[in-house]
Amino acid sequence: MSAPVVDFQHPSPTRRSWVAVFWLLAALLLFNTWEDWQRLQYQQQLTDEREQHFIQLTRQQEQLIQAAIRLSPVQKQQLAVFAQQSATPFALLDALGQAWSHDVAITRLDVTTQTQLLTLDLEVRALPDAFRFVERLKALPELRVTLQQSARKPNDPQRPMLVKLSLAKR
């Protein structure tokens, strides 16, 4: 048996076509790999951009949450006004009821819930009755009482006293 003859200087035409096919396949494989690499790079770039956008949105949301937690001075004032508006005058009215006596008649009652103020017009037979009523009100620790005016009712034959008071929470 003889050894195969290999002649690299004079290749046969069939080998040339096989070598050309292998080179063509290698070039196609290389081109396909390069295209896949480019597609992966583009997808990685899109992913990075979306991740940066997501991080930015997360930061914005965190800032909005922090802003909602911290109240500006204007918002604090608004909340205080809303709290005052939701306050009721029932504590003042209860205190008025505790100090009440049959010698005193209320002719007018103005309630201001925002400032927690009651303004009263009273009618009493004699001025000492009004003073006793004011003293009973002043004895209550949560009230500030101000006697604003007192005068005789001129057109009434029994000549009662008209007294104006204001009650406020301390």
**3 state SS of 21:** helix
pLDDT at residue 140, rounded to an integer:
87
* Closest by Cα among 158, 118, 113, 159 to 137: 118
Element (H, E) at 141: none
pLDDT by residue for the chain (170 residues), tens only, comes to 788 776 777 767 777 788 889 999 999 999 999 999 999 999 999 999 999 999 999 999 999 888 777 877 888 888 887 776 666 778 888 888 888 888 899 999 998 877 888 999 999 998 899 899 999 999 988 889 988 888 898 888 888 989 999 988 87
Give the distance, in angstroms, between the CA of residue 41 and the centroid of all CA atoms in the same chain. 44
pLDDT value of position 164: 94
- Statement: the pTM of the whole predicted model exceeds 0.75: no
The whole-number pLDDT of residue 76 equals 82
Are 99 and 137 spatial neighbours (Cβ–Cβ below 8 Å)?
A: yes
- For residue 142, give the nearest of 100, 109, 98, 95 by alpha carbon: 95
Domain residue limits, the chain: 13-70, 87-169
For residue 158, the 8-state DSSP code is T
CATH class of 87-169: alpha beta
Helix 90-99 / helix 127-139 crossing angle, nearest 10 deg: 130
